[in-house]
Amino acid sequence: MASPCSDSSVDRGANPAPLPTSNQDKSPPPLSKNQLKKLRRDQAWEEGRERRKALRKLKNKEKKERKRADAEKEPPAEPSQGKRKATEDPEPPALKKAKHHKNIQLPVSFVVDCGFDDLMLDGERKSLASQVTRSYSDNHKAPFRSHLFISSFKGHLKERFDTVLAGNHRNWKGVKFIDGDFEEAAQLAEELMKISQGGKLAGTFQKSVPAQQMEDGSPSGEVVYLTSDSPDILTELKPYSTYIIGGIVDKNRHKGICYKRATDRGMKTAKLPIGDYMKMTSRFVLATNHVVEIMLRWLELGDWAKAFLQVIPKRKGGILKDGAMLLERRPPAAEDDAEKHSEPSTHDEEDQNIPETGAAESSEKDTAVPSEEDEEQQPP
């Protein structure tokens, strides 16, 4: 006959009590004070989005009303200064063409390589998004524009464009966003430039390309990765070629990463000829959108010195080597264009503080705030 003690011991062994483990009831670590401040700031910014939108509309309306009132106050113009009479000759066609200038597509491609998403901080990704936005805006409005590709468009950068920037990039024209890397983008660019819509040889290309090649119509170009670490210098842009700009803002933490990225793929590299034309008080490192704009100016003017003068920010402290001789060769029309382009509608040199990605890399991180049409950027 079994004793009660033995039954009790069997019962206790059949249903053992669970032992506490270190993984049970583990709560997430508390946020730091800085993280809480950033979270509250982001929430407050999002909550005020509609209010800021309404304020912008109100300001635009008031601005239009002020212009209308000023126009009504102006005295009527004298007959000699008024509109042309019907008996007079119409406005010269050259002036009409200057007022309504049509952009010309050239057979050349620019690729912004955004394959450094995991190497950047959140604020640096915001700056890169601003630079991509401005690159598109400059190319879209340039008299001679290129094919623009944004490669490795994924990860945090794509998420920002889809959410914070409300997916406005889907309405952009003349630009292609692809998930693939810069080599895939270069292949797509080569195929695009061969078709009839690939562009025509105009502007600087019309002067530099031999007549025989224009008659043959046999496109032959190259693929060049632009990086300030390259030992080779880019002397000119060639038609049917693709130029890759590294899209990274990293405060110079990853030195030479773009040069290594290109050489590992066996790709040709080059750097802009800044040192041949400019004396700089800082490193020859520029933001991604500045590199794009400089090449667009060269396509328009065919002169690196003029392109550098119009684009490189004054805060870089750059002056021309033998500047007086270069400026003497500048025709009056080009000077007028320089004044017009020195104050682009998307950004101003004095106000712009863009982290720099020198044809590739970054030297220091600043905050960049694009125009209201391009991006609604949260202030620091």
What are the residue numbers of the active site? 250
> Alpha helices of the chain — where are they, by DSSP H?
4-14, 33-47, 49-73, 93-99, 122-141, 155-162, 182-194, 204-208, 211-216, 257-264, 274-277, 288-301, 304-311, 323-328, 332-341
Q: Sign of dihedral through CA atoms 228, 230, 231, 237?
A: negative
Name the region of 317 (left: φ>0; alpha: ψ -120 to 50; beta: rest).
Answer: left
| Beta carbons of 274 and 280 less than 8 angstroms apart | yes
| Beta carbons of 246 and 355 less than 8 angstroms apart | no
- Cα 234-239-244 angle, rounded to 5 deg: 50
| Beta carbons of 165 and 375 less than 8 angstroms apart | yes
CA distance 245 to 214: 28
- Cα 209-270-284 angle, rounded to 5 deg: 120
CA distance 300 to 294: 10
**What is the side-by-side order of every strand in the sheet holding 268-270?**
175-177, 144-151, 104-113, 242-246, 223-226, 268-270
Distance in angstroms between the alpha carbons of the first and the last residue of the chain: 83
Which string of b and e fits 267-278 if b means at least 16 CB within 10 Å?
A: bebbbbbbeebb
CA distance 259 to 360: 8
CA distance 107 to 203: 11
